Amino acid sequence: MNAGHAQIEAILAQLNRVILGKDAQIRLCLACLLARGHLLIEDIPGVGKTTLAHGIAKTLGLSFQRVQFTSDLLPADVLGVSIFDRETGKFRFQRGPIFAQLVLADEINRASPKAQSALLEAMEEHQVTLDGQSMALPEPFFVIATQNPQDQVGTFPLPESQLDRFLMRVHLGYPAAAAERELLSGIDRRDLVKTLQTILTADSLRQLQESVLQIHVSPALLDYVQALVAHTRRAPGANAGLSPRAAIGMLRAARAWALICGRSAVIPEHVQAIFPAVVEHRVRQRGSDEVAASRLLEAVPVP
């Protein structure tokens, strides 16, 4: 536990050096990965989404692939293709970029729904099926997708069913003034990423993920999570509440957050910390685009 927490502190410290002034977002990203969830980063270009993904891959010691989603991207470009080998006279499978431990799907909402769904199925099943043949994806397997805000031209917004597969959605946002000055004065971030140290091995990452499941959850806290989930379903103006899958993911994310905070049990504050990231892309409100997570939180008393 303590060793695990020290590792986490080191990871956070290192990532904070790359992305300045975004401690909370970085913690959320890490919690999402420790909870074995996929991450959606939504923001305008140029705030460091790709850099963050790079940094995480490097720090956690994961194999990294990046796919730039464009409107003419085909599923094969993501998953891979079978190519006829003249020498052997057989089809040989050429693996696509998805066969990596951390896949960065850049600007996922620029691709056609067909290409999007190829990725999203792989995310859910942790395997790829082509020509009737199933191939397991490497373990651990994370997808960090980025998307531009949807009011930009030429995008295919992800349908709600697809959004549900991302455990969290995080906004990075512009850096604060001090962080931005430091950013301007410092060296290029991409160069910095190359210098990062690998802190975790595949084994220790798995251990950390295991210890997320060891975090204690009391009945009172289960009540609270359930009350929150139930409230999203009947809150005035909400179109659709959280799915049971989302509820399970929320509890797991809260455990990961407790682990990051160095606690052995989940307390309501942990749930509240991850709640906006888990809920806001799932629960849509009639009229406006999204539901304010803080309003939902305020409506449910802590047991």
Q: Which residues bind other proteins (CB under 8 A)?
A: 216, 218, 220-221, 264-269, 272, 297-303
Q: Which is nearer to other proteins, 45 or 303 (CB)?
A: 303
CB of 39 to other proteins, least distance (A): 25
Q: Which is nearer to other proteins, 136 or 299 (CB)?
A: 299
DSSP state of 49: H
CB of 263 to other proteins, least distance (A): 8
Inter-residue contact 217 to 265 (CB < 8 Å): yes
Place of tokens 């891959």: 57
Q: Which is nearer to other proteins, 176 or 265 (CB)?
A: 265
Question: Helix, strand, or coil here: 95?
Answer: strand
Q: Which is nearer to other proteins, 94 or 218 (CB)?
A: 218
DSSP state of 238: B
Dig out the tokens for 290 from the structure. 């999204």
Short-list 68, 101, 94, CA closest to 205 = 101
Residue ranges with strand state E in 79-157: 80-85, 90-95, 102-106, 127-130, 133-136, 142-147
CB of 117 to other proteins, least distance (A): 38
CB of 173 to other proteins, least distance (A): 23
Distance of CA 254 to the CA centre of its chain: 14
CB of 257 to other proteins, least distance (A): 13
Q: Which is nearer to other proteins, 51 or 272 (CB)?
A: 272
Q: Which is nearer to other proteins, 179 or 292 (CB)?
A: 292
Q: Which is nearer to other proteins, 145 or 260 (CB)?
A: 260
Q: Pick left, alpha or beta for residue 126 (phi over 0 → left; psi -120 to 50 → alpha; otherwise beta).
A: left
CB of 271 to other proteins, least distance (A): 8
Q: Is the peptide bond before 140 cis (omega within 30 degrees of 0)?
A: yes
CA–CA gap between residue 33 and residue 42 (Å, rounded): 16
Q: Which is nearer to other proteins, 119 or 225 (CB)?
A: 225
CB of 227 to other proteins, least distance (A): 10
Inter-residue contact 126 to 141 (CB < 8 Å): yes
What Å distances lie between residue 253 and 32, 92, 290, CA to CA? 6, 39, 21
CA–CA gap between residue 17 and residue 50 (Å, rounded): 15
CA–CA gap between residue 195 and residue 240 (Å, rounded): 45
CB of 303 to other proteins, least distance (A): 8
